[in-house]
Amino acid sequence: MREVDFLHYRPGSSIIHRHDPRFKLLELIIFSAVALAGSPLSLALSGALLAAFHCLAGTSLRGLRKPLLFWLAMALLIAGAAALAEPEPPVVLFGWMSPFGITGLEAGGLRALRLLAVLLAGQLLASTTDPVELAEALKRLLFFLPPAWRGLLAASIGLTVTFIPQVLDEAAAVSDAALSRGLAERRSIFRRVLILARPLAENTLRRAELIADAMLSRSFTPQPTPLQLPMHGRDWLLFAVSLMPLAAELGQKYF
pLDDT digits (tens, 9 = 90+) for 175-220: 767 667 665 555 555 666 666 777 777 777 777 677 667 766 766 6
Cα-flanking dihedrals φ and ψ of residue 43, to 5°? Answer: -65, -45
pLDDT at position 192 is 64
Helices (H), the chain: 21-37, 40-57, 65-85, 102-128, 131-141, 147-180, 189-217, 233-242, 244-254
Q: How many CB atoms neighbour CB 254 within 10 A? A: 6
For residue 227, give Cα distances in angstroms to 135, 204, 224. 10, 30, 9
pLDDT at position 1 is 43
- pLDDT averaged over every residue in the chain: 77
- If one compares 238 and 130, the residue with the highest pLDDT of the two is 238
Distance CA 194, CA 188 (A): 10
- Check whether 68 has a pLDDT greater than 70: yes
pLDDT at position 6 is 67
